[in-house]
Amino acid sequence: MASKGSFTGIFSPSYCPKCYHQLSRVPRRSIQTTAKRTAIAAPPIDLDSLPPIDPSKGRIVPASPSYFTARPDSTDHFLQLQTLLRRHQTLPTISAAQAPRVAWRTLVQYRLLIGEPVRAAKYHRILEILQRLNRIHPNAVPKDLKETLEVFKRDVDPFAVIRPPAIIDEDGKTYGVGRRKESSAKVYLVQGEGNVLINGKSLNAAFGRIHDRESALWALKATSRLDKYNVWALVKGGGTTGQAEAITLGAAKALMAFEPALKPALRRAGCVSRDPRRVERKKPGKAKARKMPAWVKRSATTGDEAHKLMKQSRDKVPKAAAKRRKDGLVPAWVGTNHLTGTGVRSIDVLAALMD
């Protein structure tokens, strides 16, 4: 219990703020507004003394933040390539023509590699970064970059496989294989007077069109060798156009076995590389591969609009026709053709007339 004459509560001296006289000296306040903190090191943790951890109650942490995306592996590859490009963008580069030829994985092969349905547009961006990294000078390529590029290369490099040259047998003949669309041809070539047999038939009997005959012998005609070699071709599959162009490629390969110096001339004539084009498939909803059906404008006109259009058509009738209509020579529904021509459905016109 408080003694007599003492104050408690908010009136106690300990609660009231301390006041100074105007002539008294007040201690200078420190510039710091926060209290001094001293770092105290925690004692080392004894891991042996901790209780055992139950694995079933632990939280599984993903190995990569991309785990929460739709396609984590492809996202990691894309981010990894972007990081390598930023890190090595200052290294010396060479032109695309001088860069080493690399066969990158196709979209189907990449999908099978990572097991994700990667979109073609995203993989195209990955290939653009790979081609830029491949242009770095071979002497300046770091080790980590080489290991990363190996992931995206094919298992078998088609550019490293050298096709053995065609061999001329003891009878002085050689052969070449050509393909076009669904057709394949095996063409034998031997020095002679220019005789041509296709599946045991003459050129005119095998191909009725002049264009197909010229296509079949275009490799010999472009190099002026029509009268110096005999041609025996076995062709199957496809139509006449595909068979003729398959013979062209096979004859060019066989001709290069006799005269390798003709390869530049044959390449300029378009007889060295295979034509990969095929017939484009028909799409649903279209008449053909790309042809769209004719578009027809259709208008849902109400009965009131039909009455209005019918009245407008009657106003546009010439005076002579109006007079004949007045005399009863022309029926009242003479304007229906005009109405149907302006986009009004016939059922709406009949409904308007019946009203």
Which residue is it, tokens 């390598």? 84
CA neighbor of 102 nearest in space, from 140, 131, 139, 136: 131
Alpha-carbon separation of residue 55 from 59, 61, 298, 301 (angstroms): 8, 13, 68, 72
| E strands in the chain | 173-180, 183-191, 196-198, 201-202, 229-236
CA neighbor of 150 nearest in space, from 122, 123, 128, 130: 130
pLDDT tens, N- to C-terminus, the chain (355 residues): 555 555 566 566 665 555 555 555 555 655 555 555 666 777 888 878 888 877 777 777 888 889 999 999 999 999 999 999 999 999 999 999 899 889 999 999 999 999 999 999 999 999 999 999 999 999 999 999 999 999 999 988 777 777 777 888 998 999 999 999 999 999 999 999 999 999 999 999 999 999 999 999 999 999 999 999 999 999 999 999 999 999 999 999 999 999 999 999 999 999 999 999 999 999 999 999 999 999 887 755 555 666 666 666 655 555 555 555 555 544 444 444 444 444 445 555 445 545 5
Residue 354: strand, helix, or coil: helix
Q: What pLDDT, on the 0 to 100 scale, is given for residue 321?
A: 56
Q: Domain 173-268 belongs to what topology?
A: Ribosomal Protein S5; domain 2 (3.30.230)
Q: Where are the domains of the chain?
A: 69-151, 173-268, 303-354
Residue 333 and residue 285 in contact, taking contact as beta carbons nearer than 8 Å: no
Amino acid at 138: P
Amino acid at 48: D
Residue 147 falls in which region: left (phi positive, over 0), alpha (psi -120 to 50) or beta: alpha
DSSP-assigned letter for residue 34: S
For residue 15, what are its two tokens?
């609660």
Backbone angles phi, psi at 190, to 5 degrees: -145, 150
Residue 185 and residue 235 in contact, taking contact as beta carbons nearer than 8 Å: yes
Residue 202, beta-bridge partner list: 197
Please tell me whether the overall predicted TM-score, pTM, comes out greater than 0.85 for this model: no
Interior angle at CA 98, CA 93 and CA 101, nearest 5: 105
Which residue is it, tokens 């378009």? 270
DSSP-assigned letter for residue 344: -
Specify the DSSP element, H or E, that contains 258.
Answer: helix 240-258
For residue 306, what are its two tokens?
């039909």
Amino acid at 109: Q
Alpha-carbon separation of residue 125 from 90, 94, 117, 157, 333 (angstroms): 21, 21, 15, 22, 66
CA torsion through residues 80, 86, 87, 91, sign: positive
Q: What pLDDT, on the 0 to 100 scale, is given for residue 94?
A: 94
Which residue is it, tokens 């990081």? 83
Residue 220: strand, helix, or coil: helix
Strand arrangement of the beta sheet that strand 183-191 belongs to: 173-180, 183-191, 229-236, 196-198, 201-202
